[in-house]
Amino acid sequence: MANSRSGDSLPSRLVTILDAFDSHRSSLTISALSRRVGIPLATTHRLVVQFLDGRLLERDADGEVRLGIRLWELASRGLRTTDLREIALPFMKDAQAVVRQHTTLRWAG
């Protein structure tokens, strides 16, 4: 059931907000996010607060919001990524030991 003037449901607005982030804009102010997705600022702010609470979004040091770690945690539960993760984990641990930095597995398929 939609709860907005536009008729968009909460899941639809969530997807719209998550789609606003890309490789060129990995973090945005709430105002910029509101403009980018075409959702009123007050609504965007309310949704962002809820998504921050659920860790779907997170704030960076500048106060901008970006995609949260919870999205990765949920995505990693998928069957395709589970097998790949298990295969890649020993290599990722080796790479992490060498570079002494956080390592992630990026799915390109």
Burial of 11 (0-12, 13-18, 19+ CB in 10 A): exposed
Q: Can you list the alpha helix ranges (DSSP code H) found in 1-109?
A: 10-19, 30-37, 41-53, 69-75, 79-99
Is residue 78 scored above 50 in pLDDT? yes
Q: What would the pLDDT profile of 7-63 be if each residue is shown by its tens digit? A: 789 899 999 999 999 989 999 999 999 999 999 999 999 999 999 999 999 999 999
pLDDT at 51: 96
Contact between residue 28 and residue 36 where contact means Cβ atoms under 8 Å apart:
yes
Residue 60: what pLDDT?
94
CA-nearest of 72, 82, 57 to 102 is: 72
Q: Full-prediction pTM beyond 0.75?
A: no
